[in-house]
Every structure is written in structure tokens, then in C-alpha cells.
């Protein structure tokens, strides 16, 4: 006989844990099921190389969740009761160019202006205008990230009613390159901010990416980049502790095969080993749209077909995690003081052409490598005096040369390490105790959310954004024709990254179950 709970959640990614934790705080009996032996999905810290070295396997810095009331108001007491603690370094991001020049972004705008002025005083003034506009837009943008998305048509019509709204709409349609070319005269400054667009797995020449620059700058100045003490997985640990403290269960090693539907309502789940778990109130599913048709009984075929047709990014991610004897240093023997460090060519066109080649399944001629070494800020992750390296690059999931990533990933990892040495010369073979590489294929195996190595679940294109993410039918976290089934994950609004977006799903569930959200938050 199936064991019964009020709420059953499929997957222990941070979005599902967030939604489950709010419901547990409301007094609901909650069960979270995870197919892997570890918890956290994309928010996980593991000893991937050598014992004692803790690596953030996927997400590294926690940026956008800092503005979420979940953390901003500590609604679930993750910080005050369950041990979650963040460091917020003064320098969130820095670019190192191949000739050794650097350009840093600080939370302090005047310090950033001074950095940009090394390349162009005019561009320093332009940055001031950019950052002022980002700060003006930030409250509106942030409010849209932690709640169910407004209808696309209504949003567009609202923007069309004022001069300021039309300016915002125009920005939403521009490419990052178009925007940066209109703002800055220095190619180095343009390239620095263009790399921001690349962190969404898109080329700076992709249309409808420009708003991301304002979002990035707004959050950088207002909140900084959060470095979780102990590793990215500390967020998962705090959420799990919260659920268990309220009587909930979180189980690993349970692979859910089906959502059980009876009379048009989700009633529970069935695992691949035959076990069943019933849900009196609802099922929360971190179910990739490509898998929805196979996992949900009695789903409308048209809804399933539209979900299966959603597009993943052609640019997949490959990562290298290394355990180092000593911390990394630049050519000038300086430590890495930024949370994220972009390694850039001398010419902006080189960066743009590398993204172009990915469209055709080719490897980028100039690697698009970014790195982090968060042990610089949080020494609890490593033995005394040691360090970790987290490096990422973008590659095609299907290679034009026909080679399998299982065959080719070791070779590509060596290419990445050799490229990094051009910027950080002490990344010698003697300094590397061991390293671990995850190819796009490995990413897909690690999490069913990372189809084709797309860490955002599906591409962040305009037609798969907002209330149309992943499809118009699924954009409100519900599945038409299936009552009490709610969706979470990077393929839902607001998209990939650590947003804590499960809060918006929780709000929707609270409304449907006629629960008092504010009361649950007060209870913590």
C-alpha cells in the first residue's frame, strides 16, 4: 500500500526544496524524492577530486536569490536557524585580458568607474548612466522574478503606455552587442560586459539579450555575489534541515517514473522500483518539459507535444574542477579577488566569432573560459593553504567532428587547463593534485533537468520566457487538465540560475489550497 503524505515533491533541486519547505512550514506532511545518492540538483557541493576538497559541481555564486524574500527577509529562517551564511566580496567579477590587462566590477560604483576609466573616461560616464538606469529598473525587475509571471500580452501593452515603458521594451528586443555598441567606445569594455550575456549560454549577438546587462549590474551593485560558506550545497543543506525540522522527509536513491493521476488529479507518484507514494494535496514536479509526456499519466497530448518541442540551448557547458596545492595567482602574482573571473582575448571580434562557431557544432577557436576559486574567500572548503578551481567553457552537445564526449572530454579538459595557464601561470601540473571534468553528456546524466548539458533546462529565448516558459500552457507552474500538479525547475520562469523560484510555485499552491502564506512565513 502506498505511504501517504500531503505533498510529494519529485527531485531535490533547490527550487523543489524551496516549495516543499514553505509547505512544510505551513504544517503539511512533505516528502521529497531524489533519484541520485546526493541531494541538491544543480546546487550541490561534493568531494569530486581529493578528500577534503569541496567543489561546487554546478552553481557556484548565488546572485539572484539574494533579492528573493526567502533570503532577503529570511522567511524560512534558513540563515537565522538553519546555518546558511553568505560572504559577499567587494569585487564580484573581473576580466583578465590575454595581454595581462584587467577590468574589475565592484559593488562600489566609483571604484568600477575608475576601472573603466583605465580604458575610456567617456565609458566610465556611460557606465554611471547604465548603472543608474539598472538601479531604477531593479525593483520592478526583481518583483517579477519571485512571483508567477504576468501575461505576455498584458506586459507588452503596459510597457507601450509610456515613454519609459517603450524604452524598456526596446531594450528587451536588442542584442547585448547592439546595446554595448551604443553605450561604450572601448572594445575592451564592450567585451567585458558582452561576456555577461555569455553566462546565459548565448552569444552577445543574440537578439533580445540586452536587458540582462541591466539585470546583472543592478543585482551586482544592490546585492553582490553571494558565496555560501561551506559551498553552494549549504543552501541545499539548510533547506533540507528546514523540511526535516518541520516533520518532512527527504529521501535519496528514489527514481520517480510516473505521476499517478486519477479522475484528472495528481494523486501521487510511482518509483521505478514499484514503490508508490500518495499525495493528498498535491504533487510538485521538477519535470523537464521533454519528459512531461512520459511521466504524467493522462496528460493532454497537445500539451505534452508542445512541451517536448521546447528548445535547449545549442551551447552546452563543460566544467573542470581541480584540487590545488596552492592558490592561483595572476602574472603579477596577485590573488584572485573576484568571485567570477572571465579570461578574455585581446580583441572583441575574437570573442564574438567563437560564439558564432558554436552554432555549427564546432569548438570555439578561442575558448570561452570563466573561472572561480572560492577558497580564496571561504577557506573551509579546502585543507590549510590549498585551493580549488572551478572552470567552465561552452561547447556543442553534438560535435561536428562526430566524436563522443566520453571519448573527447579528457582532451578538452587539458585544452582548458592549458588555456588558463596563459593567464594564471602557477596552474602547473605540479600544482594540480587531481581534477574532475563534467562534459555536457555528464551534465545530462547528473540531472534530468540538464538536457543536452543546458544548465538552464531550456534555452533562454524570448519565446520561452516569462509566462511562455516553457510553453504558454505551462507558464503558470500548472499542467492543464491535471489538477494539483505543480512544476518547478530551471525550465520554468524566471529561468536557470539560483533564484529560489520555488517560492513562486509555493505561493500558487498556497492560493489553491487556501492556505495563509504570511502565517506560514511567520511560523518559519
Predicted confidence (pLDDT) per residue in 387-444, tens digit = 999 999 999 999 999 999 999 999 999 999 999 999 999 999 999 999 999 999 999 9
Name which of 92-96, 239-243, 448-452 the model is least confident about.
Answer: 448-452
CB 88 within 8 A of CB 146: no
- Statement: residue 520 has pLDDT above 70: yes
Per-residue pLDDT reduced to its tens digit, 306-365: 999 999 998 899 999 999 999 999 999 899 999 999 999 999 999 999 999 998 989 999
Provide the β-strand partners of residue 317: 394
The predicted pLDDT at position 474 comes to: 98
Average pLDDT over all residues of the chain = 95
Residue 350 contacts by C-beta under 8 Å, 6 or more apart in sequence?
A: 365, 366
Query: Distance between CA 342 and CA 354 in Å, rounded?
Result: 15
- Statement: residue 130 has pLDDT above 60: yes
Query: Distance between CA 221 and CA 135 in Å, rounded?
Result: 8
Per-residue pLDDT reduced to its tens digit, 152-182: 999 999 999 999 999 999 999 999 999 999 9
More confident residue, 82 or 524: 82
Query: Distance between CA 237 and CA 83 in Å, rounded?
Result: 9
Per-residue pLDDT reduced to its tens digit, 468-478: 999 999 999 99
The residue with cell 509566462 is 467
Residue 483 Cα distances to 11, 148, 263, 487, 509, angstroms = 19, 17, 9, 12, 11
Find the mean pLDDT for residues 434-462.
94
Helix (H) or strand (E) holding 259, with range, is strand 256-262
What's the burial of 430, exposed, middle or buried (CB within 10 Å: 0-12/13-18/19+)? exposed
CB 355 within 8 A of CB 461: no
The residue with cell 569541496 is 54
Find, among 71, 68, 76, 91, the residue nearest to 23 by Cα. 76
3-state DSSP assignment of residue 436: strand
Residue 191 contacts by C-beta under 8 Å, 6 or more apart in sequence?
A: 95, 344, 345, 348, 351
The residue with cell 564546432 is 362
| Angle subtended by helix axes 176-183 and 121-145, to nearest 10 | 140
- Statement: residue 1 has pLDDT above 60: no
- The DSSP call for residue 80 is T
CB 239 within 8 A of CB 78: yes
- Statement: residue 107 has pLDDT above 90: yes
Helix (H) or strand (E) holding 342, with range, is strand 340-344
Residue 287 contacts by C-beta under 8 Å, 6 or more apart in sequence?
A: 10, 11, 259, 295, 296, 487, 489
Residue 23 Cα distances to 220, 420, 512, angstroms = 31, 45, 12
Residue 164 contacts by C-beta under 8 Å, 6 or more apart in sequence?
A: none
Provide the β-strand partners of residue 483: 265
Helix (H) or strand (E) holding 414, with range, is helix 405-421
Per-residue pLDDT reduced to its tens digit, 2-30: 789 999 999 999 999 999 999 999 999 99
The predicted pLDDT at position 277 comes to: 97
The predicted pLDDT at position 249 comes to: 98
Query: Distance between CA 15 and CA 13 in Å, rounded?
Result: 6
What's the burial of 205, exposed, middle or buried (CB within 10 Å: 0-12/13-18/19+)? middle
The half-sphere exposure of 297 on its side-chain side, counting CA atoms within 13 A, is 16
Amino acid at each position: 500500500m502506498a505511504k501517504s503524505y500531503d505533498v510529494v515533491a519529485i527531485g531535490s533541486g533547490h527550487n523543489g526544496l524551496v516549495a516543499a519547505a514553505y509547505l512544510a512550514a505551513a504544517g503539511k506532511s512533505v516528502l521529497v524524492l531524489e533519484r541520485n545518492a546526493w541531494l541538491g540538483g544543480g546546487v550541490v557541493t561534493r568531494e569530486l577530486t581529493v578528500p577534503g576538497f569541496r567543489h561546487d559541481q554546478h552553481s557556484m555564486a548565488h546572485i539572484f536569490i539574494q533579492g528573493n524574500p526567502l533570503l532577503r527577509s529570511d522567511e524560512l529562517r534558513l540563515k537565522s536557524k538553519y546555518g546558511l551564511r553568505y560572504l559577499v566580496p567587494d569585487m564580484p567579477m573581473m576580466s583578465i585580458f590575454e595581454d595581462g590587462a584587467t577590468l574589475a566590477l565592484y559593488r562600489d560604483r566609483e571604484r568600477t568607474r575608475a576601472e573603466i576609466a583605465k580604458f575610456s573616461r567617456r565609458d566610465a560616464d556611460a557606465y554611471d548612466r547604465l548603472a543608474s538606469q539598472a538601479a531604477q529598473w531593479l525593483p520592478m525587475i526583481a518583483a517579477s522574478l519571485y512571483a508567477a509571471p504576468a501575461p505576455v500580452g498584458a506586459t507588452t501593452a503596459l510597457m507601450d503606455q509610456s515613454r519609459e515603458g517603450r524604452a524598456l521594451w526596446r531594450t528587451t528586443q536588442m542584442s547585448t552587442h547592439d546595446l554595448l555598441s551604443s553605450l561604450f567606445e572601448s572594445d575592451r569594455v564592450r567585451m567585458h560586459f558582452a561576456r555577461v550575456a555569455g553566462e546565459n549560454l548565448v552569444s552577445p549577438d543574440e537578439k533580445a539579450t540586452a536587458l540582462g546587462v541591466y539585470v546583472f549590474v543592478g543585482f551586482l551593485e544592490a546585492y553582490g555575489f553571494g558565496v555560501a560558506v561551506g559551498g553552494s550545497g549549504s543552501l541545499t543543506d539548510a533547506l533540507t534541515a528546514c523540511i526535516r525540522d518541520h516533520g518532512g522527509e527527504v529521501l535519496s536513491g528514489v527514481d520517480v517514473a510516473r505521476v499517478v493521476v486519477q479522475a484528472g488529479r495528481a494523486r501521487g507518484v510511482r518509483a521505478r522500483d514499484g514503490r508508490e507514494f500518495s499525495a493528498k494535496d498535491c504533487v510538485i514536479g521538477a519535470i523537464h518539459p521533454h519528459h512531461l509526456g512520459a511521466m504524467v499519466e493522462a496528460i493532454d497530448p497537445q500539451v505534452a507535444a508542445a512541451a517536448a518541442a521546447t528548445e535547449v540551448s545549442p551551447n552546452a557547458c563543460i566544467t573542470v574542477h581541480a584540487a590545488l596545492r596552492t592558490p592561483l595567482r595572476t602574472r603579477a602574482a596577485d590573488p584572485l579577488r573576484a568571485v567570477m573571473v572571465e579570461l578574455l582575448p585581446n580583441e572583441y571580434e575574437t570573442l564574438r566569432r567563437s560564439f558564432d562557431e558554436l552554432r555549427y557544432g564546432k569548438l570555439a577557436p578561442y575558448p570561452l573560459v570563466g573561472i572561480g576559486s572560492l577558497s580564496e574567500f571561504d577557506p573551509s572548503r579546502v585543507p590549510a593553504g590549498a585551493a580549488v578551481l572551478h572552470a567552465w567553457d561552452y561547447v556543442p552537445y553534438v560535435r561536428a567532428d562526430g566524436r563522443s564526449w566520453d571519448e573527447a572530454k579528457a582532451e578538452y579538459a587539458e585544452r582548458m587547463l592549458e588555456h588558463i595557464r596563459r593567464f594564471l601561470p602557477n596552474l602547473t601540473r605540479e600544482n594540480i593534485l587531481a581534477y574532475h571534468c563534467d562534459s555536457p553528456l555528464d551534465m545530462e546524466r547528473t540531472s534530468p533537468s540538464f538536457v543536452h548539458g543546458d544548465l538552464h533546462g531550456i534555452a533562454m529565448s524570448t519565446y520561452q520566457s516569462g509566462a511562455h516558459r516553457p510553453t504558454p500552457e505551462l507558464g503558470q507552474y500548472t499542467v492543464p487538465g491535471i489538477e494539483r500538479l505543480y512544476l518547478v525547475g530551471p525550465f520554468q520562469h524566471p529561468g536557470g540560475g539560483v533564484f529560489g523560484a520555488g517560492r513562486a510555485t509555493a505561493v500558487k499552491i498556497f492560493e489553491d489550497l487556501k492556505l495563509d502564506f504570511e502565517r506560514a512565513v511567520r511560523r518559519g
